[in-house]
A and B are shown apart, each in its own frame.
Chain A
């Protein structure tokens, strides 16, 4: 992968939506091809055809569901960044929960609460793993015995004392 930096905030929504769609479509294609292969009638030709039919039928739908999730999540995340003026794990967790709730809005209040809890816990897990990973990887860059330079020496020497021109 090349140097891949995230876009600044309003454009991040488009970016995340596309990334989620790609992930869902490719993952859905792999999953549905296996499922279609297994569920088809006997005979390798029929199995391959069933696999293809399942991919054509379901993979775009899985991708679309992912895209809606990613786009809505990112929209709420950016809105919270704008309102709270800071980016922290709570933004992600809250927007995960809100996304779950909004997407279940047609299924009743109970489903909304359940979906919100799932979204929040999922995002909390992701953020927690990210923080742990950062902690562990930061550990190896810690200097073992740092030698601090004395800043008071810098101003005392004259123009010819230790003039080094870098």
Chain B
């Protein structure tokens, strides 16, 4: 009975989201120009003690909010370039960090492998550094796909450091999940350290746009081959999503999913949304959205307006 009520309300949210999106498609909601931003393209370090590769997009004026972004599997902080520019133009200070095993970490031989515990420690360190650098400024975590799962986990462990979460498709409920797990399992038995190409299982399902897929593959900052051992670690990590969601007690959450996502089932995101303990939560299903909504130039002006409005409404 209750489950039914939950599902009905979720379905209603989904329907409203799908119906409401075209309303924002007018030019009046287009993003402000990005010329006020300053991009830091080098790969500096957070502080003397924390060596986490990151990119940042900082507005000229004092930022009103800070966003710390975490990318999805195979990508790097570079995937938030367009998001960072657009949000910096809206007076957010945007930071995007590389998850261990990806981006600039690939150049560090000892740390080139996926390490989620290390990544969570990096995020905690980054949040503390940002808190000190921007006193009295709200800090929001932003994550997509694997990054969404990571920010949920980070916020569940450090609620005192996070003022809100924007979380896109964090669910582990993928299409063809069983077949991909069998493939990974078979490769694991064969040689757990021999990298597997993610293209057929992940990239081809991320977008129907062939040009975009080719761009993902051609970008040297993306990592499209992972070992079975790393993929096993990824699967194990994603299984902890439900526990992390239940442990988000008060932190406000905006959860996003693409209705045309061919990689992660939107139902999985809805289920995860229902598991969030916080009452301050909102679910947005993007009618024409595929797997990526925030990264790799997929942020639309209307979605950036929605994210901005939600963050501002949370601070009132």
> Does A pair with B?
no
Q: Which residues of B contact A (CB under 8 A)?
A: none
